[in-house]
Amino acid sequence: MKSPARKHFEQVSAAKAAGTATPGEQQQGEQYELYNRALYEATRSLKDIKSIEAKVEKKRELLPDFMPYVDGVLAEGKGAKDDVLMTLMIWCIDTGDYEKALQIGAYAVKHNLDTPDRYARNTVSVLAEEIAEGVKIQLAKEDADADALANVMARAVAIVGDADMHDEIKAKVHKSYGYALRAAEDVEGALAQLKRALELNDKIGVKQDIKQLESLIKKQGEQAPA
């Protein structure tokens, strides 16, 4: 485990290198090279793990060692190409650290950074679809924090909402946002999001949910005091 002093040094060094990099050009510097090699070794170790659940746990175990680099780049970065940063964004989504994933995602969208080639989708599509899927899974759990998950989706929409991506992916985002709002008891907000999802993809599977929400709103209106 790295000492606090070592983490601070690496964060400051990463911030300095990122702050002097040329936007759109490949990130350089000692810290980038060190973390790139560390990420390569970590990725190799993950390939030996067959269980998806075990892979996620391994990523969760490894991620703290990479955070000094991430925090340094986010603090001072000017938008240089950075496969390390973008891979760690995916890892954060995989492990449910949506806060950090969205921080990286906002930086990546602002600077138009690409995901590594192996992901075969652009940044906004990966960020939108993977967070939407992750939040949907989290909502199915008994201890789900609906308010927190609704906030995650609100931030995701704010970051990727106007970006160009397939309508099917945008529909997934609005569907997950709608489900999160429904769980958080924001009925009207949920209805608006699910209707938007249906507009984007009429096969998204929310028609029954929309009917139930409309019925609930109507019933609440009838029960409201005159």
189 Cβ neighbours under 8 A, 6+ residues apart:
178, 181
- Residue 26, strand partner residues: 81
Residue 213 has pLDDT above 60, yes or no: yes
Predicted confidence band of residue 29 (pLDDT cuts 50, 70, 90):
confident
Predicted confidence band of residue 225 (pLDDT cuts 50, 70, 90):
low
Higher pLDDT, 17 or 196: 196
Task: Name the least confident of 5-19, 50-64, 85-99.
Answer: 5-19
- Confidence (pLDDT) at 2: 75
Residue 55 has pLDDT above 60, yes or no: yes
- Confidence (pLDDT) at 7: 84
pLDDT (tens digit per residue) in 164-177: 889 999 999 999 99
Residue 219 has pLDDT above 90, yes or no: no
Q: Return d(Cα 47, Cα 162) in angstroms, integer.
A: 36
Residue 10 exposed, middle or buried by CB count within 10 Å (0-12, 13-18, 19+) = buried
Residue 110 has pLDDT above 60, yes or no: yes
| Distance, C-alpha 225 to centroid of its chain | 42
In the predicted model, what is the mean pLDDT of residues 134-146?
A: 92
4 Cβ neighbours under 8 A, 6+ residues apart:
none
Residue 22 has pLDDT above 90, yes or no: no
Contact between 90 and 55 under an 8 Å Cβ cutoff? The reply is no
Q: Which residues of 159-197 are buried (b: 16+ CB within 10 A; e: fewer)?
A: bbeeeebeeebbbbbbbbbbbbbbbbebbebbbbbbbbb
Residue 1 has pLDDT above 80, yes or no: no
Domains and CATH numbers, the chain: 1-114 (no CATH), 122-219 (1.25.40)
3 Cβ neighbours under 8 A, 6+ residues apart:
none
- Confidence (pLDDT) at 17: 87
Predicted confidence band of residue 156 (pLDDT cuts 50, 70, 90):
very high
In the predicted model, what is the mean pLDDT of residues 51-70?
A: 94
Q: Return d(Cα 43, Cα 213) in angstroms, integer.
A: 44
Q: Return d(Cα 117, Cα 167) in angstroms, integer.
A: 22
